Homo-oligomer: A and B are copies of this chain.
Amino acid sequence: MPENGVGRGENLLFLTDEQLRKGIEAMFFAYRGFTADPDRILAQYNYGRAHHRALHFINRSHGTTVNNLLSVLGVTKQSLNRVLRTLIEDGLVESRVGRRDRRERHLYLTEAGRALEAELSEAQQARMRAAYRAAGPQAVAGFRQVLEAMMEDDIRRQYLQLRDGKP
């Protein structure tokens, strides 16, 4: 007999087209909420989402190279370069020539960069925290499971590597 109403019987009602459609729409609307608060802050600084993403992952992995960042963000170097240039010009990011390999540029947040990253992060985390708290730990575990299953294979590998610490 099913535990929690969804035991080993697995009636598969959660896989109907109707359920999938609801999930798809939820994903669409939720992503808007996910980016809404940072977007409002970014607009004040005349930056966009691309700047936020760059700041986030540079903060996440201090000293990462441009190439690393490219593969994480999944954009072309030309596209990232435009964003990085403005961040460097504005003194939020520092680009240092590599010591071992002087072709590489290692990226670091400046004090100002850390400040903006923190402001953006806090806004995004506040919403996430509220959502987590409202849904509860069980729901959060399921949330993460489904998201991870939804990623493309190579992206998931990157994500898990990032998630579990940087070697």
Chain B residues near A143 (CB-CB < 8 A): 23, 139, 142-143, 145-147
CB distance from A23 to the nearest CB of B (A): 6
Contact B28 A53 (CB under 8 A): yes
- Beyond A32-B152, A152-B36, A155-B33, whether A27 also contacts B147 by CB under 8 A is yes
Stretch at the interface among A14-22, A96-104, A107-115: A14-22
Which chain B residue lies CB-closest to A30? B147
How distant is the Cα of A150 from the Cα of B13 in the complex, in angstroms?
Answer: 24
A151 touches B29 (CB 8 A): yes
How far, in whole Å, are A43 and B135 apart by their CA atoms in the complex?
37
Q: Which of B6, B29, B137 contacts A10 (CB 8 A)?
A: B137
CA distance A150 to B128 in the complex (A): 7
Q: Indicate if A74 sits at the interface (CB-CB under 8 A).
A: yes
Q: Is A45 an interface residue (CB 8 A)?
A: no
Cross-chain contact A134 with B152 (CB below 8 angstroms): no
Tell whether, in the assembled complex, residue A145 and residue B156 are in contact, meaning their CB atoms are under 8 Å apart. no
A55 vs chain B, min Cβ distance (A): 13
Q: How far is the CA of A135 from the CA of B151 in the complex (A)?
A: 13
User: In the bound complex, do residue A149 and residue B130 qualify as a contact, i.e. CB atoms below 8 Å apart?
Assistant: yes
Within the complex, the shortest CB–CB distance from A36 to chain B, in Å, comes to 6
Q: Is A81 an interface residue (CB 8 A)?
A: no
Known A53-B28, A131-B150; contact A6-B145, beta-carbon cutoff 8 A = no
Q: Tell whether A24 pairs with B128 under 8 Å between CB atoms, given A32-B74, A155-B29.
A: yes
Please tell me if the beta carbons of B15 and A129 are within 8 angstroms of each other in the complex.
yes
Residues of B within 8 A of A125 (CB): 17, 20-21, 24
